[in-house]
């Protein structure tokens, strides 16, 4: 595992614990679907290690325990330069743990986030090492099932090259190599029917369907990785997991050379075959894809082809701009005539400075509408009475023995309203971010730019809750829940009426159902919404019908919170 800067959750009780009288857990490195990973140290040898411990909610689930034990068995059987080495595994006081080497370097996700698209030779060199690890594992009857940039670490070598190691075979399964399919790929055993395992951005269609997986499932993920290394973006860009899963099932990824015409045609063909919807149309396994990649012609596309493509895209873009501009002019002119605004526009044009008198009618119409909107907003703000109770008073803790009635008496807050109900009142930077969130286009990389804008807007308007809310919503879309929670509380302190934002209520309920934020998010939900949270919690319990242990744990957390109301 990565020797990265560790962050230890305040409520983690295992830091400092000694497992099997040999390994002391020093800090949290990260958490996956089944286990939490700690930086540890071998007490006798002083050797740094990475220790994965099965999460508490799964320790009583026999199928999950079996899967965890199978992971240890699968990894211990793999000895390859491009696969992380398993050192030990065992059970200590009911804790199932897996000990691995502590890998130096950084994961590919961080590399691409920082550098964007990699040079073609570098991208191919990295994926070649990944495919070597897959070819070896597939030959041993093991598939990864969660291959992604975040599970691949690169380490610079003294000679200037990069060494790659594949991590976290946490979803790996043994294959029944005695029962080949018609195409020669091997079937996955020990998979519960209908269970979806993996990471949405890299999941093959058969994984999304919950169907049996085989070596070609890893091939699909490797194709996604090659696409991302060459372009700096995913084939399907959505922030919501459900949208991402649907895209893998029904959408065709964009051709690589429409994103970067310099990419060699051979690489585009390899990605297209690796990401075929039908497993039968993909490479059979990692070894076959490796042969194709090593044989690929990496010569860049001829200059004439690149410039031709650029001219083609430029022509299409120009046609679209002209068409949309004409439509906008016609619609604006028709609207102005319908509303009898021609005379007003002419008068407005005469009052403008000389250089602005030549503006087309659509722009003049927008100027006039904006001026009227500004007058209305100023008048509304001037007429709004100040709240007799400050947000900080509403957030103050209740005295011992106080009940909900006491809380309601003390609230005295302005009526809730959706701060995004009138999008025309949103400043342009905020409106752009809001539309990005609504369209599900907030990504980890683009989000860094949006967050910078929102923080500047929040500093410039200390009483405006909207930039803080948008930043919190963006964090939730990327599952950075612990960062979103204090932002929601900050938004409420700025303007208590912001509790009318439906997304904020939905997200706080979701956070209150998580293991790490149950207490803090639940307390915030009660402070901000009072008994308004009751219906939302009841609806969440009714909607959560999953059968896995974690689903029942989530329902129990919501029920405990309902009991407090």
Q: Where residue 303 falls among pLDDT bands split at 50, 70, 90?
A: low
- Cβ contact 386:352 at 8 Å: no
Q: What is the pLDDT of residue 7?
A: 42
Q: What is the pLDDT of residue 329?
A: 63
Position 522 pLDDT exceeds 80: yes
**174 backbone dihedrals φ, ψ, rounded to 5°:** -75, 145
Lowest mean pLDDT among 104-118, 370-384, 493-507: 370-384
The tens digit of pLDDT for each residue in 189-207 reads 333 333 445 688 999 999 8
HSE value, Cβ hemisphere, 13 Å, CA-based, for 73: 11
Assigned CATH for 106-301: 1.10.510.10
Element (H, E) at 485: helix 481-494
Q: What is the pLDDT of residue 337?
A: 55
Q: Where residue 86 falls among pLDDT bands split at 50, 70, 90?
A: confident
Q: Which residues are catalytic?
A: 146
Position 367 pLDDT exceeds 70: no
The tens digit of pLDDT for each residue in 325-365 reads 666 666 666 655 555 555 555 555 555 555 454 555 555 55
Give CA torsion, residues 116, 118, 119, 123, to 10 deg: -160
The tens digit of pLDDT for each residue in 278-293 reads 999 999 999 999 999 9
Of the CATH numbers 1.10.260.40, 1.10.287.3510, 3.30.200.20, 3.40.50.300, which one belongs to the domain with range 18-101? 3.30.200.20
Position 489 pLDDT exceeds 50: yes
Average of per-residue pLDDT across 398-419: 59
The tens digit of pLDDT for each residue in 30-75 reads 776 667 889 999 999 999 999 988 877 766 667 767 777 776 777 7
Give a three-class secondary structure readout of 429-468. HHHHHHHHHHCCCCCHHHHHHHHHHHHHHHHHCCCCCHHH
Instruction: Kindly list the distances between the CA atom of residue 299 and the CA atoms of 42, 198, 226, 262, 496, in Å, as whole numbers in the listed order.
Output: 49, 34, 17, 9, 60
Please measure the distance between the N-terminal and C-terminal CA atoms of the chain and give it in whole angstroms. Answer: 43
- Cβ contact 41:25 at 8 Å: no
Position 183 pLDDT exceeds 90: no
Q: Where residue 242 falls among pLDDT bands split at 50, 70, 90?
A: confident
Q: What is the pLDDT of residue 563?
A: 82
Does the reported pTM lie above 0.75? no
d(CA 141, CA 136): 9
Percent of the chain beyond pLDDT 90? 30
**163 backbone dihedrals φ, ψ, rounded to 5°:** -105, 135
Q: What is the DSSP string of 273-322?
A: HHT-SSGGGS-SSHHHHHHHHHH---PPPPHHHHHHHHHHHHHHHHHHHH
User: Distance of alpha carbon 383 from its chain centroid, rounded?
Assistant: 42
Lowest mean pLDDT among 50-54, 216-220, 465-469: 50-54
The tens digit of pLDDT for each residue in 106-145 reads 889 889 988 999 999 999 999 999 999 999 999 988 888 8
Q: What is the CA radius of gyration of the chain?
A: 28
Task: Find all residues with CB under 8 Å of 545, minimum gap 6, and list them.
Answer: 551
């Amino acid at each position: 595992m990565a020797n990265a800067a560790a962050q230890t959750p305040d409520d983690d009780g295992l830091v400092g614990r000694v497992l099997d009288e040999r390994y002391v857990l020093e800090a949290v490195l990260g958490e996956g679907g089944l286990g939490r990973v700690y930086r540890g140290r071998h007490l006798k040898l002083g050797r740094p290690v990475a220790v994965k411990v099965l999460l508490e909610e799964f320790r009583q689930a026999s199928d999950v325990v079996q899967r965890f034990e199978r992971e240890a068995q699968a990894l211990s059987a793999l000895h390859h330069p491009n696969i992380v080495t398993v050192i030990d595994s065992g059970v200590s006081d009911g804790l199932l743990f897996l000990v691995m080497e502590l890998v130096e370097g950084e994961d590919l996700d961080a590399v691409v986030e920082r550098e964007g698209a990699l040079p073609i030779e570098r991208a191919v060199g990295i994926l070649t090492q990944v495919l070597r690890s897959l070819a070896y594992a597939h030959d041993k009857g093991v598939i990864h099932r969660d291959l992604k940039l975040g599970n691949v670490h690169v380490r610079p070598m003294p000679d200037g090259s990069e060494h790659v190691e594949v991590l976290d075979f946490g979803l790996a399964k043994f294959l029944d190599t005695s029962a080949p399919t018609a195409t020669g790929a091997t079937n996955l055993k020990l998979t519960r029917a209908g269970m979806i395992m993996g990471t949405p951005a890299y999941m093959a269609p058969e994984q999304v369907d919950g169907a049996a997986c085989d070596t070609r499932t890893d091939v699909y993920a490797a194709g996604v990785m090659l696409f991302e290394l060459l372009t700096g973006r995913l084939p399907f860009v959505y922030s919501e997991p459900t949208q991402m899963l649907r895209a893998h099932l029904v959408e065709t990824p964009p051709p690589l050379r429409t994103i970067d015409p310099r990419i060699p045609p051979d690489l585009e063909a390899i990605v297209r075959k690796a990401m075929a919807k039908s497993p039968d149309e993909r490479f059979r396994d990692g070894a076959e894809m490796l042969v194709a990649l090593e044989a690929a012609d990496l010569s860049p596309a001829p200059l004439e082809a690149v410039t031709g493509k650029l001219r083609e895209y430029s022509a299409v873009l120009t046609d679209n701009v002209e068409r949309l501009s004409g439509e906008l002019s016609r619609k604006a002119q028709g609207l102005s005539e319908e509303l009898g605004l021609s005379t007003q526009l002419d008068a407005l044009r005469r009052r403008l400075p000389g250089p602005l008198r030549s503006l087309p009618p659509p722009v003049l119409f927008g100027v006039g509408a904006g001026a009227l909107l500004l007058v209305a907003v100023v008048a509304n703000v001037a007429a709004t009475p100040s709240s007799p109770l400050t947000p900080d008073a509403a957030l103050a803790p209740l005295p011992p023995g106080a009940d909900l009635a006491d809380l309601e008496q003390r609230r005295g807050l302005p009526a809730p309203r959706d701060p995004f109900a009138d999008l025309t009142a949103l400043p342009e930077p905020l409106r752009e971010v809001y539309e990005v969130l609504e369209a599900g286009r907030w990504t980890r990389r683009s989000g860094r730019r949006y967050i910078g804008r929102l923080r500047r807007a929040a500093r410039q308007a200390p009483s405006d809750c909207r930039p803080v809310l948008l930043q919190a919503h963006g964090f939730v879309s990327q599952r950075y829940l612990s960062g979103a929670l204090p932002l929601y509380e900050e938004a409420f302190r700025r303007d208590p009426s912001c509790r009318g934002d439906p997304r904020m209520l939905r997200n706080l309920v979701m956070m209150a159902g998580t293991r790490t934020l149950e207490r803090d998010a639940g307390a915030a939900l009660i402070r901000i919404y009072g008994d308004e949270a009751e219906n939302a919690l009841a609806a969440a319990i009714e909607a959560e019908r999953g059968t896995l242990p974690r689903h029942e744990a989530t329902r129990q957390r919501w029920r405990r919170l309902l009991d407090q109301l």
